[in-house]
């Protein structure tokens, strides 16, 4: 098989992945037969699809991990924001996510990145997450890492992708039409110097004429053939080793979302008491028409218990969603919050420092943006 022959003869292989790699995980692509842009061009309605954080890595993701571990490939450059490569086990140093990651938030001051076990923006599209950088002396505001239309790519991610692309002596393109200009030039650093280029995609790409091997086919099917020929064992998904969603809980703040608008503080207290949960303080607030409650526990273990116990429970006939609020919470970003329910211990007032943070907030406008569909 020519694909395997090229793979074995190369010393530094860089793989570029797009939406076609994640379709088997239930995430629609954009230009495939059932793709979003394809349907829109035909005037067809786009059906409901799972949220990105509900998907799990598929065979293709684990096949690439196996190829990486066996040193047949050396780096992955992805335009996907679903985080499935990392969740399959690909180390951070072996991937460049040039369009961002839904689980990643970045400090706007020092660029420190934090990976959370949940979609850091939830179902609400905004830029700032309400948490602060935890680097000593920084306290910069954390924002999402998603690159939207018209925005510059991350210098860190693009720099790493460019370096790896220039070192490649074999380039493999999987499941992308190479039409997004922010990434389409990267394979050229290798194949324009005479190195082979492999393209596996169901649709035509602008680089088809330059390909040493062009395969019009399903990515998972091709990777299954390749890994079988190389006699590689492919693991299946196991959340306990998921480096993103399987992270241990280390924070003490828990955020309950999707609360009915008529819920009052005593009902939150009753819910906690019913399940044997004891907290130090909490407050109710509202953010972009979503009522929520922040609760602070004494230890990460108690917070962990709260997350596993409360998530999905009904409160006034509405299923609540419990997301862990990791790190330092900056109340400056809360909108229309209420001071009800701040104190939990014998009706004592909340800490003065906390009240100062809340009462001296400076409202920031949160841009409602759409994720880059690359």
**Residues identified as active-site:** 99
Task: State the residue for tokens 């229309």.
Answer: 336
Give the three-class secondary structure for 21: helix
Helix (H) or strand (E) holding 361: none
- Residue 239's φ and ψ, nearest 5 degrees, are -60, -25
Q: Beta partners for 16?
A: 77, 173
Measured CA to CA, the distance from residue 114 to residue 85 in angstroms comes to 16
Measured CA to CA, the distance from residue 223 to residue 330 in angstroms comes to 45
83: burial class by Cβ within 10 Å (0-12, 13-18, 19+)? buried
The answer to whether 134 and 113 have CB atoms below 8 angstroms apart is no
242-246 long-range Cβ contacts below 8 angstroms, 24+ apart: 242/87, 243/86, 243/87, 243/89, 243/115, 244/83, 244/86, 244/87, 244/103, 244/115, 244/116, 244/117, 245/53, 245/87, 245/117, 245/118, 246/117
């Amino acid at each position: 098989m020519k694909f395997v022959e090229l793979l074995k003869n190369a010393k530094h292989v860089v793989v570029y992945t797009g939406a076609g790699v994640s379709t088997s995980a239930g995430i629609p692509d954009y230009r495939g037969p059932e793709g979003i842009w394809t349907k829109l061009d035909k005037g067809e309605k786009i059906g409901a699809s799972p949220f990105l954080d509900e998907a799990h890595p598929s065979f293709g993701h684990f096949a690439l991990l196996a190829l990486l571990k066996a040193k047949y490939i050396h780096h992955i450059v992805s335009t996907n924001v679903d985080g499935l490569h990392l969740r399959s086990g690909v180390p951070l140093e072996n991937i460049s996510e040039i369009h961002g990651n839904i689980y990643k938030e970045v400090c706007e001051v020092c660029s420190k990145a934090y990976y959370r076990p949940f979609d850091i923006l939830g179902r609400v599209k905004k830029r700032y997450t309400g948490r602060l950088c935890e680097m000593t002396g920084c306290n910069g505001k954390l924002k999402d890492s998603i690159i939207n239309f018209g925005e510059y790519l991350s210098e860190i991610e693009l720099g790493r992708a460019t370096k790896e692309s220039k070192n490649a002596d074999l380039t493999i393109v999987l499941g992308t039409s190479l039409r997004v200009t922010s990434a389409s030039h990267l394979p050229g650093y290798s194949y324009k110097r005479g190195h082979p280029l492999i393209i596996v995609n169901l649709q035509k790409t602008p680089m088809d004429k330059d390909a040493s091997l062009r395969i019009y086919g399903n990515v998972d099917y091709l990777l299954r053939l390749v890994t079988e020929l190389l006699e590689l064992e492919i693991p299946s998904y196991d959340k306990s080793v998921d480096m993103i969603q399987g992270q241990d809980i280390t924070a003490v703040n828990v955020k309950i979302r999707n609360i009915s608008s008529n819920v009052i503080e005593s009902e939150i207290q009753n819910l906690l008491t019913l399940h044997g949960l004891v907290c130090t303080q909490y407050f109710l607030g509202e953010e972009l028409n979503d009522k929520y409650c922040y609760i602070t526990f004494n230890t990460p273990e108690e917070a962990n218990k709260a997350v596993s116990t409360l998530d999905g429970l009904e409160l006034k006939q509405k299923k609540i969603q419990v997301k862990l609020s990791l790190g330092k919470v900056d109340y400056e970003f809360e909108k229309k919050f209420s001071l009800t329910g701040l104190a939990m211990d014998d009706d004592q007032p909340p800490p003065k420092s906390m009240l100062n943070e809340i009462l001296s907030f400076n409202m920031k406008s949160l841009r409602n943006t759409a994720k880059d569909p690359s």
